[in-house]
Structure 1
């Protein structure tokens, strides 16, 4: 359905073949049927094959002429680099931040154990401020947030649903103040509207942490790149998929390749032991699909 919107009749056959390939990835029948993990081969026309600087080639495909397009409200809205883990996403975001013009602004969070939490001296010793600063948790901004004007960011909390400020909304930074960040919305129903974002006290929902911690920080993260799971529900013109390690959960590869509106809008970079390959892991558990 995503592929067929606004497609000329001359491209229908190519779109049909690409759609069938995407469905085979989702159903786990590409190459040979699998129930769990299986190695599949990606078509060469979807691959980044530049061996000299493959990551730069992926960035150039996803964000062509980026510095000349910073004032185009649709530029960052229609493209993203996807990766399986937050660590890989963070590295790509830092690399693209270095390419952006202007001065960096660094914001450090205020972290500690929640005042409402009944803690012991052992808890306080184990979870010192330095330890909490070092934690990088899903749904929580990092202790150190480095930004520049015109950088795309993503909200990590619901701030004002009526005005389109929801978890996952993407914005572009307009001004960087000491206590407030001004940004314009680039996705959703209020595109172009400016908003002010201030620091919030946030508590992670990660059950692996035995105590309740609080982090006061701007509820945003850079989003040149984002995790595959965070891209759910988005339609993009260009998607660059970076796989320095394979996907690790059911349907992740299918989610990625089904974000794009056309075959020419997708490129995949697969690295294995510092070399480029055309094979990767697809994870499909048939039990999940039985009742669909």
Structure 2
């Protein structure tokens, strides 16, 4: 449904072939029948080195104005938060301009302060190292021109909702100025956030700007979007049912998809990856 209409018969044939390949990923046809994980080969024209992929996804990433215009339709996807952070750090390293680091203030939340002496067991240094989905990191490096994503609903009337993407336009001590993509400038304050990660046996509070650098985002965060250019960075294989299909079905043309897969070693590129599909999901459909 997301594939662009073809301008010629040759293009229509290529789109039909790509559409069939995307559907076969979701239906677990590629790689043979298997209830769970199966290794699949990737088309040779889709694989690309990271720096080359970045330049194709963000051809003008050093021009802040042009980057703002293209962020609507472009992104880099990864299966886990750790890999997303890795790609974002790589992108930040390409920008040699002066940046600023903002550190959070972390503490055990008031509801858990009196239970089992958690404040004494879990030091501030320990809490600083925790990374949770939907929560900004303790250390937040930002530069003017950095694309970021909001992690909390702040002001619905001004379009400041969870998932809104902005470009940082000014760095200050207590507030950040950013421009909503294709829209107006807004001010972002620090907020006290309590992560809702069920894996944590306690609750802690992090006071930080509710932002995350968004050159890259997780596959799950991208669901529902239609994008002209998608770079899929598989430093680690997909980890859940239909995750690979969700990633490759974001793009509107085969030419807009670039995939980078690594083996066990970081410099060991691969032309195959894991697809995870469970047959029970399709029962009674």
Map of 2:166 onto structure 1: 171
Q: TM-score, normalised by structure 2?
A: 0.93
The answer to whether the Cα contact below 8 Å between 2:148 and 2:214 also exists between their aligned partners in 1 is: yes
The answer to whether the Cα contact below 8 Å between 2:135 and 2:210 also exists between their aligned partners in 1 is: yes
Map of 2:24 onto structure 1: 24
Q: Mean Cα displacement is larger for which, 38-47 or 204-213?
A: 204-213
Within 5 A, what are the aligned runs for 1:86-105? 86-105=81-100
Q: TM-score, normalised by structure 1?
A: 0.91
CA distance in 2, matches of 1:56, 1:126: 43
Within 5 A, what are the aligned runs for 1:130-141? 130-141=125-136
Matched, 1:233 2:224: yes
The answer to whether the Cα contact below 8 Å between 1:119 and 1:211 also exists between their aligned partners in 2 is: no
Q: Mean Cα displacement is larger for which, 155-164 or 116-125?
A: 116-125
Closer/same/farther in 2, CA of residues 212 and 273 from structure 1, 3 Å limit: closer
Matched, 1:265 2:259: no
The answer to whether the Cα contact below 8 Å between 2:107 and 2:119 also exists between their aligned partners in 1 is: no
Over the residues paired in the alignment, what is the CA RMSD in angstroms? 1.6
SS in 1 for 2:117: helix
Count of matched residue positions in the alignment of Structure 1 and Structure 2 = 281
SS in 1 for 2:134: coil
CA offset at residue 145 of structure 1? 0.5
The answer to whether the Cα contact below 8 Å between 1:184 and 1:193 also exists between their aligned partners in 2 is: yes
SS in 1 for 2:136: coil
CA offset at residue 118 of structure 1? 4.4
Map of 1:243 onto structure 2: 234
CA distance in 2, matches of 1:263, 1:88: 23
The answer to whether the Cα contact below 8 Å between 1:181 and 1:198 also exists between their aligned partners in 2 is: yes
Q: Which runs of 5+ in 2 are unaligned?
A: none
Deviations, residues 102-121 of structure 1 (Å, cap 9, x unaligned): 21111111110112434246
* Deviation >3 Å, runs of 4+: none
Q: Mean Cα displacement is larger for which, 113-122 or 197-206?
A: 113-122
CA distance in 2, matches of 1:39, 1:31: 6
CA distance in 2, matches of 1:61, 1:234: 19
CA offset at residue 243 of structure 1? 1.1
Matched, 1:157 2:155: no
In structure 2, which of residues 196, 202, 216 is the aligned counterpart of residue 211 of structure 1? Answer: 202
Map of 2:38 onto structure 1: 38
CA distance in 2, matches of 1:273, 1:123: 38
CA distance in 2, matches of 1:162, 1:26: 37
Matched, 1:146 2:163: no
